[in-house]
Amino acid sequence: MKQLISRIWAVKGRLLASIFLLLFLGLNWLWMDFRNFMTTPLDLTQYQKTFIIKKGASIHRLARYLQQAKVIKHQNYLKLLAYWNPDYQKLKAGQYAINDSLTPVELLQQLTRGVVVQYPFTIIEGQTIYQVLENLKNIQDILPLEDHQLKQLAQTIRHDQGLLAQQLPGQTIIINDYAALEGWFLPETYNYSQGDTALSILKRAYSSMRLHLNEEWQSRDLVLPYKTPYDTLIMASIIEKETGIAKERARIAGVFVRRLQKRMRLQTDPTVIYGIGPSFNGNITKRDLKRLTPYNTYRVKGLPPTPIAMPSLASIKAALHPSDEKVLYFVADGTGGHYFSETLEEHLKAVRRMITASRKKTLTDTCINIFTYTDVEIEAVGFQLIYFPCGQAKNIFTSQ
């Protein structure tokens, strides 16, 4: 009997030892498989490079989705990772880009840190508020700018800058929402992610412009005809539209500053064009120059009531540090640059050279709109200006 009991215990002992051995081997295999899971890159196809985590998504839903998409083999392993590290359970909503080199651990780190896909939106120097808003409308991955948001942002800028109304002879200029926004968004590239708002992009651009404008204002030249940083913004926008050549910015700024100091009209075409608005067809007519609008600097002295475009930081610097010369005039030289002159006579000679050079080309292919001055100035040197539409120029000057 004792011998039988002894044999039974021996068999049980061997059985338990076998079970423990199998359990140990199984657990060891699971541990090795789990470690291999943590360090093995994800199994991705070209169609699984991006995916979206919705707000409130759980680690369980994510694990199930990744296994169904055959990105991972064991959803429970991913859940186990998140159980061991509770931070991995705090998924952040957004669109994510993943690549073949990512491991499950690195994937969870990316999803919990909110490293979402970023897209660029660029505000280009010289764009108007209408162009910026139109470009924002064309972005499909962001929430559009609502009318009430535009009004609220415009109201904020009005309040910040005191843009309530300005006076011209016989009329009061009310700064509407679009005019209040003009010029206030720094030309730069701003990154956004899916689900962002157009308003958030504009707010960043506005904050950046305010910061840079105020910094540059503190280091401005002492003798300038500007009362506020906003005057600088207006001048910088005109400079931006007049030239794209870096070395000319300060010279053009100097021309306009001296004209303001001498109480001369700025007589700059870009302001007239801005005042015409979307109906502008590419030609400035004599009628356009005679029309009294807040932006017609051939009729109105001083700066226009608002900027006419988004100025670059370089144009702001030029407006605050204009060149110290005596030139009062400039005209396009046909190559993208300008001729600069100190006197009206020199200026009109430069205009004639430009016309002569243009005649040597095909006049029907050359559009010249900028040679427009007051009758008094023209008569002072014995010439009369002939206004003409593009492509139909004949005798530009006739002697009186």
pLDDT at 44: 76
**What's the pLDDT score for residue 400?**
29
CA 254 to chain centroid: 28
The tokens describing 127, both together, are 């764009």
Name residue 239's beta-bridge partners.
none
Give the pLDDT score at 337.
87
pLDDT above 70 (res 93):
yes
Residue that wins the pLDDT comparison between 130 and 8: 130
Enumerate domains of the chain plus CATH numbers.
37-117 (3.30.1490.480)
Tokens of residue 185, six digits: 């968004």
> Quick check: 280 pLDDT over 70?
yes
Residue 374 is predicted with a pLDDT of 41
CA pair distance 242, 274, nearest whole angstrom:
13
174, pLDDT greater than 70: no
Quick one: pLDDT band at residue 208, thresholds 50, 70, 90?
very high
User: Rounded to the nearest 5°, which phi and psi values hold at 55?
Assistant: -60, 130
With 60 as the cut, is the pLDDT of residue 95 above it? yes
Which DSSP symbol is given to 138? T
Model confidence over 5-26: pLDDT tens digits? 666 555 566 666 556 656 665 5
Q: What is the pLDDT of residue 19?
A: 67
- The DSSP string of 66-114 is HHHTTS-S-HHHHHHHHHH-GGGG----EEEE--TT--HHHHHHHHHHT
Q: How do residues 190-204 score in pLDDT, each as one tens digit?
A: 999 988 999 999 999
Question: Which pTM value belongs to this model?
Answer: 0.77
CB 175 within 8 A of CB 164: yes
SS3 (DSSP) at 253: helix
Summarised one tens digit per residue, pLDDT across range 244-268 is 899 999 999 999 999 999 999 999 9
Say what the pLDDT of residue 182 is: 95
- For residue 367, pLDDT beyond 60: no
Residue 222 pLDDT greater than 80, yes or no: yes
Give yes or no for residue 240 having a pLDDT over 50. yes
Distance CA 326, CA 342 (A): 6
Task: Report residue 264 as tokens.
Answer: 């001369």
pLDDT at 365: 39
Higher pLDDT residue, 301 or 354?
Answer: 301
